Amino acid sequence: MHDKDTIKELLLNYFKGSVSVIQKKWIDDWVNESLENEEVFYSYLEEWERKNPQYLTDTEQALVTFRNKSESGISQKIGSGSSLKPQKRRALKLFLVASLTLFGLLFLGTFDKVTVKTYNTGYGEMITITLYDGTIVHLNANSELKTPRFALFSNSRKVELLGEASFNVTHDPINKFIVHTMNGLDVIVHGTEFTVYNRRHNTEVQLKSGKVELIKHNANGDESVLMKPGEKVRMEIDGVLQKEKVKAPEDIASWTQYRYVFDQTSLIEIARIISDNYGVEVEISGDSIGKRTLSGSFRSEDAKEFAEAVAQVLGISLVIEKKRFRFAKMD
């Protein structure tokens, strides 16, 4: 079973969802044996996906599927005419009422409120969410995540993120997991661990394990970028994608433990983190100190503690006035 052709055939059947429980267990164990096996797994996955495109996220198609199933079920029941028992006729009536209500909500413009669940975090707050497919999401402070409330209304597992989140995605050989950002960048994956930063300044994706594909939507067509573990891709306001290696992949999403890791990070960037995560206005007096950089890590759950530690390491002063922090040179 360990020869290359047999493994490839088994994996392709796995991606189609046509393997036994025992075979699935063997594949899971085999993938976890080594990084080489994991690379082989994802290379065959990419090959299979190119031949079997699954990137279908149109909710209209999902509704068509739902409607077809509904009409099929109704026709089968009606076909039996008066032979329906009272209980079945009542169930059919309830089903019809529910269907009409559902599509009534659609036309009234409240369909999204019914089918989409929204998670929000306040400043300084983090939450952990387990989605219906088992995917675990750590949602950072001042962030919003929209997810399907019911699996019925999406052919793929699609979520929308505004802010920052870390994802540990449950593998699904059929349905891709897609993170849609407000900046027109989609993160597409089957099963992996990664973080997405998506705020007003830029969008950044860091990959800890597995492989993901980034799709950037442009007026002239889509641009695709494949990522490997230990890489990060940053999209600036101008839309340019920049890929680079992460020096310490184990520190990806360290913020989920309230631990902040810096590597030649400027005070300007740190000020943005404080502002985004804690909702305070941060002022930097003087361009020279704004360009000062900090390397190292520390743990903090409080904005004041965070800012004081930064000021101490950089040798600058910190003045706090209600919800305003001001960094300045020492007198």
How big is the chain, counted in residues? 331
Nearest of 146, 142, 162 to residue 113 by alpha carbon: 146
Of 109, 125, 140, which closes a domain?
Answer: 109
Span 91-145, pLDDT tens digits: 555 555 555 555 555 554 555 556 788 999 999 999 999 988 889 999 999 999 9
Of 249, 266, 281, which closes a domain?
Answer: 249
Nearest of 247, 246, 295, 306 to residue 271 by alpha carbon: 306
122 and 206 belong to one structural domain: yes
- Tell me the two tokens of residue 19: 């393997």
- 3-state SS, 140-179, equals CCCCEEEEECCHHHCCCEEEEEEEEEEEECCCCCCCCEEE
Alpha carbon 55 to its chain's center: 15
Q: How confident is the model at residue 214 (pLDDT cuts 50, 70, 90)?
A: very high
Q: Cα separation of 161 and 177, whole Å?
A: 13
33 and 119 belong to one structural domain: no
**Residue 319, beta-bridge partner list:** 326
Q: What pLDDT, on a 0 to 100 scale, did the predictor assign at position 271?
A: 92
Span 257-288, pLDDT tens digits: 888 888 899 999 999 999 999 999 999 987 78
92 and 43 belong to one structural domain: no
Q: What pLDDT, on a 0 to 100 scale, did the predictor assign at position 38?
A: 76
119 and 240 belong to one structural domain: yes
The end-to-end CA distance of the chain, in Å, is 72
DSSP structural state of residue 3: S
The residue range of the domain holding 67 is 59-109
Please state the φ and ψ torsions of residue 301, each to the nearest 5 degrees. -115, 5
Q: Cα separation of 165 and 163, whole Å?
A: 7
Span 225-246, pLDDT tens digits: 899 899 999 987 777 888 999 8
Q: How far is CA 271 from CA 104, 109, 249, in A?
A: 48, 40, 23
| Total domains, the chain | 4
Q: Cα separation of 176 and 213, whole Å?
A: 11
Span 290-307, pLDDT tens digits: 999 999 888 888 889 999
29 and 64 belong to one structural domain: no
Average pLDDT, the chain: 79
Please state the φ and ψ torsions of residue 42, each to the nearest 5 degrees. -75, -25
CATH at residue 310? 3.55.50.30
119 and 211 belong to one structural domain: yes
133 and 229 belong to one structural domain: yes
Nearest of 212, 286, 206, 282 to residue 248 by alpha carbon: 206
CA dihedral sign, ordered 131, 135, 139, 143: negative
